[in-house]
Chains A and B, each alone.
Chain A
Amino acid sequence: MGVAEKDKPIANPLIVLREEFDDWAILFDPDTGNAVGLNPVGVFIWKLLDGSHTAEDILKKLRESCRNVPEEVEDHLQDFIQSLVERGLAGYEAKKA
């Protein structure tokens, strides 16, 4: 699956990212009370969901910052972003009509 260039995901600003001392974090949705754990790579990605990075940009930054990034990371990244979008934790800016 290729990375769609024009899509720049944005983290839902209502979601709280609680970072802990071990670089793991919790994503907390105050509207539902749900909290999910994020590993350090997930935190790195979350912080780039600012509406100005495509998935491809994020992939590039990930490869620059982390050693031994496996080949299949592209698919994992897409799945990760997709799962955030499905849970309402992230989205895409609505295009102007």
Chain B
Amino acid sequence: MKLMSSPQSLDLDITNRCNLRCRYCSHFTSAGDVGQDLAKEEWLQFFEELNRCTVMNLCISGGEPFYRQDLPELMEGIVKNRMRFTILSNGTLITNEMAAFLASTHRCDGVQVSIDGSNPVTHDAFRGEGSFSRAMEGIEHLRRHRVSVPVRVTIHRENVHDLEGVARLLLEDLGLPSFCTNSASFMGLCRRNAEVQLSVSERSLAMESLLNLSKKYNGRISAMAGPLAEARNWLMMERARRERRESLPGGGYLTGCGGPMSKMAVRAEGVVVPCTQLNHMELGRINEDDLIEVWQNHPQLKRLRERGTIALCDFDFCTDCDYIPYCTGSCPALAYTILGKENHPSPDACLKRFLEEGGRLPDESLMNSSGNRH
């Protein structure tokens, strides 16, 4: 992947505050939990720099972006500076007026709302009472004003048996075109709420259920991480091993993350970091450091971009593993939160370890259905 002259997009923690405290929130207690918010004027000044740097898209998250009363003025700053935006939200604070405002900007590519269950019991289990009905209301407001709502489902112990219900609710009852999934992972609050994360057997179950549902709904379920992404990736690795293929694209090296080639992120107090998940890696401060200079020349960022040259066979962790030529080591942020170093394959995404711990891969025939061929 080629390095871009400036980041094409940025992820901004527009606020550190949130009305909820979900038990698996990756933000709170992470290095991104900075206890303060930048003033509106500072963000607006920064948007002007982003305009000069020809940044195209912003992904606004937090905390909960709609917690900020001045969000509309920030959106106007984004519009004025020739960018588009998406928002990641828990959905509970989205009013009809706010949805109408977002639609009126004509620059909003969507508001991703988290829905974790088909009913209040499973959704509220880790998000707090009342959050399901308020999130559903938020979705209703957005859809009324034709703002796209790419729902995300975070899979955990309390909803792993409700996935069929979730798919029915989102794809049949609400008629959404699609939704995406991930899972509660060892970051932020999840690190101390260990009961939230899927066990090995629940992970096996989630992989199988999601492949089945993806088949049933003709590929309308997507995933960049979590059990569905792992199922697809691991089945591909297993097939490559069985067929004794030489390698898979990117295999054998730490190539699992291309983010730092096209994007970077800013914490709520204005510190620039490579990614909202690699938020301990401080690269500079907005409105003080030149963004292009940080992007093109910061030594830590350069090292992160060279991560793809590190061979998996050099790690004791991977000794004697048959999957080396097919494995990319996955997300550096998870490697960091688990082991304290980003230049290491993520133990959480390790197929060898998963199988050694008794994990089961789904039936390969599920991968051959049209819904799962991507």
Contacts and interface: CB of A to CB of B under 8 A. Distances in A.
A26 B57 CA distance: 14
Contacts of A30: 56, 79, 82-84, 107
Contacts of B2: 20-22
Contacts, number: 35
B142 to A, nearest CB: 18
Nearest to A33: B84
A16 B54 contact: yes
A18 B8 contact: yes
B54 A17 contact: yes
A21 B109 contact: no
A19 B54 CA distance: 8
A35 B56 contact: yes
A16 B82 contact: yes
Contact of B107 (A17, A21, A22, A31): A31
Given A30-B83, A30-B84, A18 B56 contact: yes
Given A14-B82, A16-B82, A28 B56 contact: yes
Nearest to A15: B82
A30 B79 CA distance: 8
Nearest to A18: B54
Nearest to A19: B5
A31 B56 contact: no
Contact of B106 (A17, A22, A28, A31): A31
A31 B79 CA distance: 9
11 contacts: A17-B54, A18-B6, A18-B54, A18-B56, A19-B54, A20-B5, A21-B2, A21-B3, A21-B4, A30-B83, A35-B56
Q: Which 8 A-B pairs have the closest CB atoms?
A: A18-B54, A30-B82, A28-B56, A16-B54, A20-B5, A16-B82, A21-B5, A30-B84
